[in-house]
Structure 1
């Protein structure tokens, strides 16, 4: 007798998705199991896993909750594990290369939160452009400090240049916003089109990044973490930016060399930064980034939205249907 297909997921996801999964699998016999149920080594492992947002919870790549560790333990001991679907667009947590080395397919939810991240990055840019950190500090001090006078007045955004690193769903969404505001856009991307411009946007490759940095009023990071992008924004890159340029990072913290960033901010070479990601997360309480007056810090939450869960679940169910039909999975990490 063939054993049932076993799918690992959280209790919340099991309750929400059980009818939809049954609809996708049809007559196939299956079991939906939680990490607690699968913890017994005497029990069979799982074939498929769905890592929803509530599974990772408040954990980071560097600090893991006990609940997430229990989930990972089931993945590691499941010899028959075939594929894992994760809620995030990036798959740079250490366990995912480990699973891929075993031949397990790892599929991301690329695009599920792209619009939300793009909106958040735009909000960070607008906040810096309109000097909200300065205005909010004045508010806390109960000081009436309007931005008047040549030295205080914010620059018009129209005509400024944004160098945008990454041209996936987030980069493309953000690029559309920036062009609507009248910014000139230079995109740094892995795979260049045949033409140097695409839809009026200048395109360059990663090796050409140093040549475009001196033109950047805004350096915006929306790229995945890869060997090519790790440490991409280092001391030399930051020095190549014109004085007063600002940094927006909604990619991964390791794309930026953090001590070099802090030095550039303290020295006043950078005009400001909006940072949602950091080299080590949670950001240490002693980090200067918390208190620098020209920095906006958010706790890796640029993509959080109440609609994300539904979009991620839809992607998982669509991939489950492909798996059931023997078709290639979408957003599989190579």
Structure 2
């Protein structure tokens, strides 16, 4: 682990190891266990790695004794984790640590789009007094339908808040089995297309997998009703980005809040930056000053489980 992570986990590390002798190794040495903390990733993306992140990933690749890696993120779609899993290394994530923060951000995106804030903020920038009375009143949220793709901690949290605002919720998940919240309609990823004609809102909160990669393409977007909007806080690769741009430009979609993109950082020449009906944020939906402690807590909990030979939480299958 990094020196910062060693300092963060020091109070609980000895207890989690049940007093067993151990050595904390800086990146570059062999290790049995690795903790990839937020400071290791820093400003790197999975597409463009800064030198310190690449050095840590190379240390993981070159550690012959490595048996388990815990990641600070909720997802494990960075290439290094696939490589490690292929050689038999256990990989676990910190799913849930930032879920409430992502839910708040996604809800903010919904409310800003619903209340036409992109239009209002554009008017503010040019000092124009432009009440919505002159451009069409926003629709009431109550009675609209939100299709939420992904029914983990983020999807469920978002579903609860949107339901409280009066929206009908349809959850799309990995299983055909009914969701834990029986009041909500539930179906599998493969049946998403059947509910899109009813989707006033399509909210993406699913992990990236072979089942979800490219799930929302041109055909899916074309099935959505006029005035529909999209929110993506999952992974950019879930959406066909050129098709999304076409739908937003042509008016097939009324707007989008996007925190993730097919390539990150988003290119400066991407049309998404300047589309008047789009809110872009730089993969920051889950950032908050309390995450570090929550992630460390999940790692230490799993470390206790590891020492006792118990199943690990958030194991990547």
Specify the TM-score bucket, using the shorter chain as the normaliser.
over 0.9
Q: Secondary structure at the match of 2:293?
A: helix
Q: Counterparts in 2 of 1:93-132, with a 5 A limit?
A: 93-132=78-117
Q: How does the TM-score come out when normalised to structure 2?
A: 0.98
Using the alignment, how far apart are the partners of 2:107 and 2:163 within structure 1?
Answer: 11
Output aligned runs, 1:211-230, within 5 Å. Answer: 211-230=194-213
Q: 1:324 aligns with which of 293, 307, 314?
A: 307
2:178 and 2:243 map into 1 onto residues whose CA distance is 35
Match of 1:55 in 2: 40
Match of 2:65 in 1: 80
1:305 counterpart residue number = 288
Equivalent in the alignment of 2:56: 71
Structure 2 counterpart of 1:154, from 131, 138, 157: 138
Deviations 1:10-40 (A, max 9, x none): 11111222231112223311111222xx3xx
* Residue 145 in structure 1 maps to residue 130 in structure 2: yes
CA, structure 1 residues 121+47, in 2 after alignment: closer, same or farther (shift >3 Å)? same
Change beyond 3 A, Cα 1:139–1:114: same
Instruction: Structure 1 unaligned segments of length 5 or more: list them.
Output: 1-8, 39-43
Residue equivalent to 1:165: 149
Q: Distance in 2 between matches of 1:140 and 1:172?
A: 36
| Cα-to-partner distance string for 1:130-189 (whole Å, 9 max, x where unaligned) | 00000000000100011115x521000000011111101100000000000000111111
Q: Report the structure number with the largest CA radius of gyration.
A: 1
Moved over 3 A (4+): none
Distance in 1 of aligned mates of 2:7 and 2:81 = 26
Pick one of 9, 13, 16 that aligns with 2:8. Answer: 16
Quote the Cα distance in structure 2 between the aligned partners of 1:174 and 1:16.
Answer: 30
TM superposition shift of 1:194: 4.9
